[in-house]
Structure 1
Amino acid sequence: MLLTFEQAKKALLEAASLNHKPLTEKVTLLAALDRVTAEPVISPINVPSFNNSAMDGYAVRLSDINQSKLLPLATTIFAGDDISNLNWPIGTCLRIMTGAPVPDEAEAVVMQEQTESTATGIKFPYEIKSGSNIRYIGEDSKQGSVVVDKGTRLTIATLSNLATLGIAELTVFSKLKVAIFSTGDELSDIGNPLTNNSAIYDSNRFTLKLLLTQLNCQIIDLGIIADDPNLIKQSLDTASKLADLVITSGGVSVGDADYTKTALAELGEINFWKIAIKPGKPFAFGKIGDALFCGLPGNPVSTLVTFYQLVQPLIVALSGQNSSNDTMSFKVKTATSLKKSVGRLDFQRGRLQINSDGELEVVSTGQQGSHLTKSFNHANCFIVLEQDRGNVAQGELVTVELFNSLLK
Structure 2
Amino acid sequence: MITVEEHRAAVLAQITPLPVRQLPLTEALGCRLVEDVVARVEVPPFDNSAMDGYAVLAADVADATESRPVRLRVVGDIPAGADALPRVGPGTAARIMTGAPIPPGADAVVPVERTDQPAGPADGKDAPEEVLIHAPAGSHVRRAGEDVTPGTQVLRGGRTVRPRDLATAASTGHGTLPVRPRVRLGVLTTGDELVAPGEPLGPGQIPESNNVLLLGLAEQLGATPVPLGILGDRPSELRDVLARRLGGVDALVTTGGVSAGAYDVVKEVLGPLGDVAFRAVAMQPGKPQGFGVLHDGERPVPIFCLPGNPVSVFVSFMVFVEPALRVMSGFARPDDADSLRPLLLDGVAATGWRSPPGRCQYIPVAFDGTDEEDDHLLRVRPSAERGSQSHLVASLAAAEALAIVDAEVESVAEGDAVTVMMVP
1:336 aligns with 2:351: yes
Q: Does 1:361 align with 2:378?
A: yes
Select the residue among 27, 37, 43 that pairs with 1:41: 37
- Measure the CA separation in 2 of the matches of 1:345 and 1:363: 17
CA contact (8 A) 1:181 1:221 kept: yes
2:377 is aligned with 1:375: no
**The residue matched to 1:175 in structure 2 has which SS?**
coil
Distance (whole Å) between structure 2 residues aligned to residue 338 and residue 165 of structure 1: 58
Instruction: Give the structure 2 partner of residue 305 of structure 1.
Output: 315
1:294 aligned partner, one-letter code: F
Letter in structure 1 aligned against 2:378: E
Aligned residue among 157, 161, 166 for 1:149: 157
What secondary structure does 1:305 align onto?
helix
Distance 1:222 1:361, change over 3 A: closer
Q: Residue 16 of structure 1 aligns with which residue?
A: 15
1:229-378 maps to which residues of 2 (within 5 A)?
A: 229-267=235-273, 269-290=275-296, 291-322=301-332, 325=340, 327-355=342-370, 357=372, 359=375, 360-364=377-381, 365-366=383-384, 367-378=387-398
Superimposed CA distance per residue, residues 123-178 of structure 1 (whole angstroms, 9 cap, x where no aligned partner): xxxxxxxxxxxxxx99x99965584224x432346557767867554222333232
- Quote the Cα distance in structure 1 between the aligned partners of 2:186 and 2:421: 29
- Secondary structure of 1:237's partner? helix
Amino acid at match of 1:35: C
After TM superposition, the structure 1 = structure 2 runs for residues 98-177 of structure 1, keeping only pairs within 5 Å, are 144-145=152-153, 147-150=155-158, 152-156=159-163, 159=166, 169-177=176-184
- Give the distance between the partners of 2:328 and 2:278, measured in 1 at CA: 21
Asked whether the 8 Å contact 1:284–1:295 carries over to 2, the reply is yes
Q: Deviations over 1:174-213 (max 9, x none)?
A: 332322211111000112211x131011100111111122
Choose the corresponding residue for 2:186, options 176, 179, 186. 179
Equivalent residue letter for 2:14: A
TM-score, normalised relative to structure 1: 0.68
The change in CA–CA distance for 1:353 and 1:157 in structure 2 (over 3 A counts) is farther
Q: Work out the CA distance in 2 between the residues paired with 1:301 and 1:328.
A: 19
Partner of residue 64, structure 1: none
Q: CA RMSD in A?
A: 3.8
- For 1:390, the equivalent position in structure 2 comes to 410
Q: Deviations over 1:332-368 (max 9, x none)?
A: 2221112112211111111234348482432222231
Output the CA distance in 1 between the equivalents of 2:154 and 2:8: 32
Percent identity between the aligned chains? 29
Among 196, 207, 210, the residue aligned to 1:189: 196
> Contact conserved, 1:22 with 1:319, CA < 8 A, in 2?
no
In structure 1, C-alpha distance between the alignment counterparts of 2:174 and 2:20, rounded to whole Å: 21
Structure 1 pair 41–199 and aligned structure 2 pair: CA distance change class (3 A)? same
Separation (CA, whole Å) in 1 of partners of 2:313 and 2:149: 44
How many aligned residue pairs are there?
327
Question: 1:396 offset after TM fit, Å?
Answer: 1.3
Alpha-carbon distance in structure 2 between the residues aligned to 1:166 and 1:353 = 52
Cα separation, partners in 2 of 1:394 and 1:33, compared to 1, 3 Å: same
Greater Cα radius of gyration, structure 1 or 2: 2
Question: What is the SS of the residue equivalent to 1:264?
Answer: helix
In 2, are the aligned partners of 1:237 and 1:267 still within 8 Å (CA)? no
Shift in alpha-carbon separation, 1:255–1:165, aligned structure 2, 3 A? same
Mind listing any 5+ residue stretches in structure 2 that lack a counterpart?
Answer: 44-98, 100-106, 108-137, 334-338
Runs of 5+ consecutive residues of structure 1 not aligned to the other structure? 48-79, 86-96, 102-136
Give 1:328 shift. 2.5
TM-superposed deviation, 1:383: 0.8
Q: How far apart, in 2, do the equivalents of 1:330 and 1:142 lie?
A: 45
8 Å contact 1:24–1:174 — kept in the other structure? yes
For the 8 Å contact 1:296–1:306, the answer to whether it is kept is: yes
Q: Is the 8 A contact 2:348 2:371 kept in 1?
A: no
**What is the rounded CA distance, in whole Å, between the counterparts of 1:207 and 1:319 in structure 2?**
21
Q: Could you tell me whether the CA contact under 8 Å between 1:331 and 1:398 is conserved in 2?
A: yes
Aligned to 1:27: 24
Deviation per CA, 1:78-105, whole angstroms, max 9, x where unpaired? xx9xxxx9xxxxxxxxxxx9x999xxxx
Q: TM-score, normalised by structure 2?
A: 0.66
